[in-house]
Amino acid sequence: GAVVSQHPSRVICKSGTSVKIECRSLDFQATTMFWYRQFPKQSLMLMATSNEGSKATYEQGVEKDKFLINHASLTLSTLTVTSAHPEDSSFYICSATGTSGGSSYNEQFFGPGTRLTVL
Amino acid sequence: GQQLNQSPQSMFIQEGEDVSMNCTSSSIFNTWLWYKQDPGEGPVLLIALYKAGELTSNGRLTAQFGITRKDSFLNISASIPSDVGIYFCAGRNAGKSTFGDGTTLTVKP
């Protein structure tokens, strides 16, 4: 299967600061990347979908100016939580699908997640 | 939009028992996926199903793509303590995945 990495795995920041989370596809070209948010004991909540080189498509209720997504290359997407507040504390997980060696994946592969704590 | 009903929400079983969970939808999906999420980790793909009626195994795990394309089940045989976690189903159409709410599995030694 394809490998997706995320960095950092944990981050603690002060209220009002911005935090950037990186998501990388290690052995395939991620044409589409997804960002999810997950609260304790709850399911995955899709925040946005991004295609390489295009603007991200945000789900209803997700503030695009608050959660900036950049997908500038086929192996890297970033999520920046701007002016973070305690209510932004959560587990953020990226996911990707794409191609490898000319074949397309029909599955989504997930990163290990980033635990954000805003004090 | 498309929605998945995943059941049961949680299961508490004894080590060695078999487990079954399923997902149903009012919509048709072209692909069904099953993931497992360990605490503090991202979901890991367990099994992918691509054709109606397909039955696929991965070790002690067996999953089936329902004939109607509106449902799928996952069975775990002879459960062990490391099977604990949250299991998610996902139906996929046209590059978009819809996830179930998850089944939390607890295995007592």
The DSSP H or E segment spanning A19 is strand A19-25
Radius of gyration, alpha carbons of chain A: 14
- Across the beta sheet with B61-65, what order do the strands follow? B4-7, B19-25, B71-76, B61-65, B55-58
Question: Within a 10 A sphere around the Cβ of B6, how many other Cβ atoms?
Answer: 22
* Residues with Cβ within 8 Å of residue A29, at least 6 apart in sequence: A74, A75, A98, A99, A100
pLDDT (tens digit, 0 to 9) for every residue of chain B, 109 residues total?
668 999 999 999 999 999 999 999 999 999 999 999 999 999 999 999 999 999 999 999 999 999 999 999 999 999 999 999 999 999 999 888 999 999 999 999 9
| Contact check, Cβ <8 Å, B33/A107 | yes
- Largest interatomic CA distance in chain B: 42
pLDDT (tens digit, 0 to 9) for every residue of chain A, 119 residues total?
689 999 999 999 999 999 999 999 999 999 999 999 999 888 899 999 999 888 899 999 999 999 999 998 999 999 999 999 999 999 999 999 999 888 888 889 999 999 999 99
Any chain A CB within 8 A of the CB of B49? no
| Contact check, Cβ <8 Å, A4/B92 | no
Question: Which residues lie across from B14 on neighbouring strands?
Answer: B108
